[in-house]
Amino acid sequence: MKRKYVVIGIIVLVLIVAAGFAGRYIYKERFSDEMPKSLDITNSTDVKFKAIGIAWKDNVVLQKSNKDDYFIPQVLDIQESRVRMVAITEDNQLLKSDEFQFEGKLKDPEKFKEVTIKSVENKKLILNVATAKSKIEVLKIPKNYKWDQKIATAGDNINAEVFFKAKTKYTYDLTLHGKGGKAGASGEVKGGEEAKASWVAPDKNILNSWVRFVKK
């Protein structure tokens, strides 16, 4: 009889744990505003950046965030294995790191890479991960651009909106962090044209957007 109660207890415990995992999954899918990440970026320096991102051959992705919450979302579908960190300072200087290992296609979507910008030395980003001298030539980012993001009310909806325009020979597109971790997208436009995207805003008025420059 005692053994029977032990077995029943184990079954109940397994059911409770399974229910916990199921509840966590349902909450994340239905109520969480988090976007699945490929890379999480922390700035531990005293330098204030206007945008942070990564660069690889013929591509640069930069993020603007009103919460200083920097990351590369999986929705950008970046397949490169080696990239460089890039950041734009308040006075429009483009700083770069050496290259580091990047896993765009994660084996486990929950286990994204985390990289910290430890310091800036001689206008170079120093990271907390292994780096190597890079042959990746970072695209020249235009110093004069317009990148606005805002919260706008339309009837009962509270939307996040982003606009980007720059004089450049590269094409570019926008991705916007929306409610439920969804993404709004502008589609690709030519340099000099305005790219714009909108989606229902996440809670806490979070504004995160990414511009991707591509050299054709």
Q: Tens of pLDDT along 1-20?
A: 555 544 454 554 544 544 34
**Could you identify the residue written with the tokens 């890379």?**
39
Question: Which of 47, 56, 98, 62 is closest to 174 using CA atoms?
Answer: 62
Judge whether residue 73 has pLDDT over 90.
yes
Beta partners for residue 71, in sequence order: 40
- Categorize the per-residue pLDDT at 165 as very low, low, confident or very high, splitting at 50, 70 and 90: very high
pTM listed for this prediction: 0.85
36-66 pLDDT tens trace: 999 999 999 999 999 999 999 999 999 999 9
C-alpha span between 100 and 132 (Å, rounded): 7
Beta partners for residue 215, in sequence order: none
